[in-house]
Amino acid sequence: MTSLLQYESGFALASNETRLEPSYRIDLRSFSEKEYNKFVKLNSVKDWSLLSWKDIGKPYEVTSIAREKKEWEDTHETNLPANVSWQMFNKSFHEWFVKDVPAEMNESKRKFMQSLKKFDFHESKSALGEMVRIHLWNYAHRVEDGIWDPRGKRALFEGLDLIKPRILFLGAAEGYEAMQLSAIYPGGDIVFVDYDPFCKDTRFADFPESYPFLGINPSTGSNKVYHKDDFASEYIVEDIRKLPFSQEFDIVLSVGLLEHFPDSLKSEVVEWHRKFLKPGGYIIMTTPRAQLKSKLYYEIMADVMNHTYRELMTVEQMGLYLYENGLEILRHGFIKVHNGIIARPR
Ligand SMILES: C[S@@+](CC[C@H](N)C(=O)[O-])C[C@H]1O[C@@H](n2cnc3c(N)ncnc32)[C@H](O)[C@@H]1O
């Protein structure tokens, strides 16, 4: 029997279906074992001890920076502190997640046409930039669903030896990936950590309660849909470096954290994950991929995204950082726009 779910726009959604909401895609499509490799490409490296930086090169550094950061640094004649740059980033990125994208695409087109009629070059250039950004966002987030990528993340995260895991999400922002993990491995709890209060109070608080996470019903083994309020969770606003926990988590997770630190700080970031992990637990990390379309995305969306130091890397580069810092790589691969690694201390 096909189950039906009620969603914001009023139409019921059948299991195994996908639909576009004004701000995002909902996607309950599952994949067969045969289709698995369409959503995640795994395990290109056979022996990490044989890989060297000479073979694979260093990550690509994104050098175009957000206007807001430039203006702050010009005014204060000093570098923007990291925590303030994250506050700017989170506020700016969140504004895009809540846009009514079809309405804004129409509006941006109208403004561009109006500016052309006025023969105003500066207004036309700015209106064209807005139109390009909203169309790119529509493609990246709604059409491709590359940012949340639920099928890719399910493919990357599945098959781990976990029962009712305690999950620690470092730099949790809106918390998406810990909720996806909790749907696949239900019954545990999540501790979200982010030192920007806006993440707890707005990014996570406003994450749509109706968004469906496809996971597993542990009593039957069949698919089950979960929502934000189904997960036992606590959101802590704190610096990762000041957390009071011991080695008590089955999963320590970060998404888009490692690439924001230059090489001199990467071992400290790896240590943040190791420090809170139970023996036998899993470190799960993802970082954006070094691919042409991501390089273009970070150029075009510079004002929205580039408030902090940022690298784009391959999964081989990401894995070598983790391997060199004492981790055993259990699974590595890439999904639509991120690399993903599952590891534990060697
Ligand atoms: C790039 S974001 C994670 C990507 C996320 N998926 C998103 O959609 O924005 C990294 C997060 O880590 C947080 N963060 C960075 N350094 C931190 C620290 N030392 N302690 C706590 N949170 C930190 C930032 O505030 C930010 O929200």
Residue 192 within any structural domain of the chain? yes
Same domain, 153 and 139: no
Confidence at residue 35, expressed as pLDDT on a 0 to 100 scale = 85
Do 228 and 187 lie in a common domain? Answer: yes
Same domain, 45 and 186: yes
Assess whether pLDDT exceeds 90 at residue 103.
Answer: yes
> Would the pLDDT of 17 be above 70?
yes
Question: Ligand 1 pocket, 178 CB below 6 A?
Answer: no
Q: For residue 8, is pLDDT > 50? A: no
235 and 206, same structural domain? yes
pLDDT at 36: 86
Residue 268 lies in a domain: yes
Ligand 1 centre to CA of 74 (Å) is 24
pLDDT per residue as tens digits for the range 194-242: 999 999 999 999 999 999 999 999 999 999 999 999 999 999 999 999 9
C-alpha span between 57 and 164 (Å, rounded): 39
Which residue's alpha carbon is at the smallest distance from atom 23 of ligand 1? 171
119 C-alpha to ligand 1 centroid (Å): 43
- Is there a single domain that holds both residue 138 and residue 267? no
The residue from 120, 143, 166 where one domain ends is 143
- The rounded mean pLDDT for the chain is 94
Asked whether the whole model's pTM tops 0.85, one would answer yes
Query: Which pLDDT score, from 0 to 100, does residue 37 have?
Result: 86
Ligand 1 in contact with 171 (CB < 6 A)?
yes
Q: Is residue 172 part of a domain?
A: yes
The reply to whether 232 falls in a domain is yes
Place of tokens 């902090």: 308
User: Do 137 and 157 share a structural domain?
Assistant: no
Same domain, 131 and 163: no
Give the CATH number of the domain where residue 264 resides: 3.40.50.150
On the question of pLDDT at 289 being above 90, the answer is yes
Q: Is residue 1 part of a domain?
A: no
Tell me: pLDDT of 120 over 90: no
Question: What domain range is 218 assigned to?
Answer: 40-57+148-345
Specify if 11 maps to a domain.
no
Q: Where are the beta strands (DSSP E) in the chain?
A: 4-6, 12-14, 18-20, 25-27, 41-42, 60-61, 166-170, 189-193, 213-216, 223-226, 233-236, 249-255, 277-288, 311-312, 327-334, 338-345
Atom of ligand 1 nearest to the CA of 93: 9
